[in-house]
Structure 1
Amino acid sequence: MLRRVRKLHNLFIIRSPEDKRLLRAVRNITGITPVQLDLYHLAVRHSSTARENNKGIRESNERLEYLGDAVLGTVIADYLFKKYPFKDEGFLTEIRSRLVNRESLNVLGRKVGIDEVLSFDSRHQGRFSHKSLYGDALEALIGAVYLDQGYRKSQKFILNKLILPYFDIEEVVRMNPNFKSTLIEWSQKENKVLEFRIIDVKHHGNHREFTACVYIDEEEYGTGFGFSKKKAEQDAALKTCELLKLI
């Protein structure tokens, strides 16, 4: 009932050009007409452009990102649980991880157009070059949809607008993303000395970003990035496999 009243009220609000632009973008991305547009403004506000509210707290999309991450994980877990009724927990966890890891969400965020409305300080863009800027904003948008529209519409948005149009689930299941194992097998076959090193750790708010590098016979090869050591090493292994034409 409250949402209906708010929708009726929104019909008579005079929108600013910024509001209208965001409204169009949210409709295009989600297929939903926002009720509480302020939530969506917050969802696309990166911490580098955080604004202080009347309580003296600098507001950005980080809290919505946290909520959206949880909603996204729940929706994907439920979908995979029902799609693969005889698969074990390890399989379901692995496939969910492939679908919603930081790297894939970052790419997906750009594909759906988050980059067109995301507000961040371009003077510091270099600091975010390897950070999942658009993936974080996409999770924040999911959080905003959840608060604004509820779980069911959030579920429809995630499945019908994000996952099913952009991912071939069966292909995700078939592919082998363990490039580190591929590289280890190659090094053993070629009698090479292989080493993975974490060469840098950066702190971005609640996240730590790791930089990993692959060394073969003490020669530097691929460099990778991730929000865990494992992800960074996998990214470095992928780039090394590409350099060596192993994939």
Structure 2
Amino acid sequence: MRLFVNRIKSVFISYSKEDKALIASIKMIAGSKPYNLKPYKIATQHTSVAKSVKRGFKESNERLEYLGDAVLSVVVAEYLFKRYPFKDEGFLTEIRSRIVSRDSLNNVARTIGVPQIVRYDKKRKTPNSHKSLFGNTLEALIGAIYLDKGFKHSRSFILNKLLKPHFDIEELINTTKNYKSKLIEWTQKQSKSPSFQHLETIDKGHYKEFIMEVRIDDEPIAKGHGLSKKKAEQDAAREACLKLELEEQ
């Protein structure tokens, strides 16, 4: 009912020239016109240009980014779960993390035209100030679509406009990053010594799960899980790379 009401209201609203331009861009990116433009206007407003609206709260796209991230994660997880019915949880988690990584989302966002609609303070020149700007805005747009048109429509947008056209899943599988090598390479440059410790083996009946810990100069950095010690080491190395900011989340 709410979506129907929003659709009817959109017919009678008079839009400014700026709003019309945004509507046209949203239609090009998402494949259809918005019913309620407000969440899209917020989704394209970075915190660097947001103004306080109540008790210091800035109405930027960060809350919508949080929502869109959750919707994106669910849709991608469901897609992989159904596409690979005989793959384990570690495999599904790894491929999903590759798809929703900041690098991946930034690249897709640039391709579909997000840089043309996001508003941010271009004068900021500090390192990493806008490192994930476009990817974060894309997640915020997913949140806006979810609020405007519901889960079914946002799911269709993710699958048909983002995932299927811009990701070769089989190629992702065949080029999975070697986080252990990346971590070892970094420690060598820093004159540090990495090591992996087997912490525990959990018997789950049909299979065993291994827990490994990566240490740098004997200092515990991160833990990893896997169906083999090798996979658990890779998972621990991935977590370590994230903590050390060698890899974007």
Check 1:125–1:142 CA distance in 2 against 1; reply closer, same or farther (3 A cut): farther
1:48 alignment partner in structure 2? 48
Which secondary structure state, in structure 1, belongs to the residue aligned with residue 79 of structure 2? helix
1:131 alignment partner in structure 2? 131
Matching of residue 195 in structure 1 with residue 189 in structure 2:
yes
Aligned positions of 1:75-224 closer than 5 A: 75-128=75-128, 131-178=131-178, 180-181=180-181, 184=184, 194-196=188-190
- TM-fit CA distance, 1:3: 2.0
Quote the RMSD (CA, aligned, Å).
Answer: 2.4
- TM-fit CA distance, 1:40: 0.1
8 Å CA contact retained: 2:64, 2:140: yes
Check 1:144–1:182 CA distance in 2 against 1; reply closer, same or farther (3 A cut): closer
Check 1:194–1:142 CA distance in 2 against 1; reply closer, same or farther (3 A cut): same
Q: Distance in 1 between matches of 2:115 and 2:247?
A: 26
8 Å CA contact retained: 2:75, 2:155: yes
2:201 alignment partner in structure 1? none
Q: Distance in 1 between matches of 2:92 and 2:59?
A: 35
2:9 alignment partner in structure 1? 9
Check 1:234–1:40 CA distance in 2 against 1; reply closer, same or farther (3 A cut): closer
Residue identity (%): 49
Query: If the length of structure 1 is used for normalisation, what is the TM-score?
Result: 0.74
8 Å CA contact retained: 1:180, 1:234: no
1:65 alignment partner in structure 2? 65
Which secondary structure state, in structure 2, belongs to the residue aligned with residue 6 of structure 1? helix
8 Å CA contact retained: 2:179, 2:241: no
**Partner residue of 2:241 out of 211, 230, 233:** 230
- TM-fit CA distance, 1:102: 0.9
Which secondary structure state, in structure 2, belongs to the residue aligned with residue 27 of structure 1? helix
Query: If the length of structure 2 is used for normalisation, what is the TM-score?
Result: 0.73
- TM-fit CA distance, 1:177: 1.5
- TM-fit CA distance, 1:137: 0.3
Q: Distance in 2 between matches of 1:128 and 1:194?
A: 25
Q: Distance in 2 between matches of 1:8 and 1:24?
A: 18
Check 1:130–1:44 CA distance in 2 against 1; reply closer, same or farther (3 A cut): closer
Deviations 1:68-126 (A, max 9, x none): 00110000000000000000000000000111101111111111111001000111144
Query: Runs of 5+ in structure 2 lacking a partner?
Result: 192-238
8 Å CA contact retained: 2:183, 2:241: no
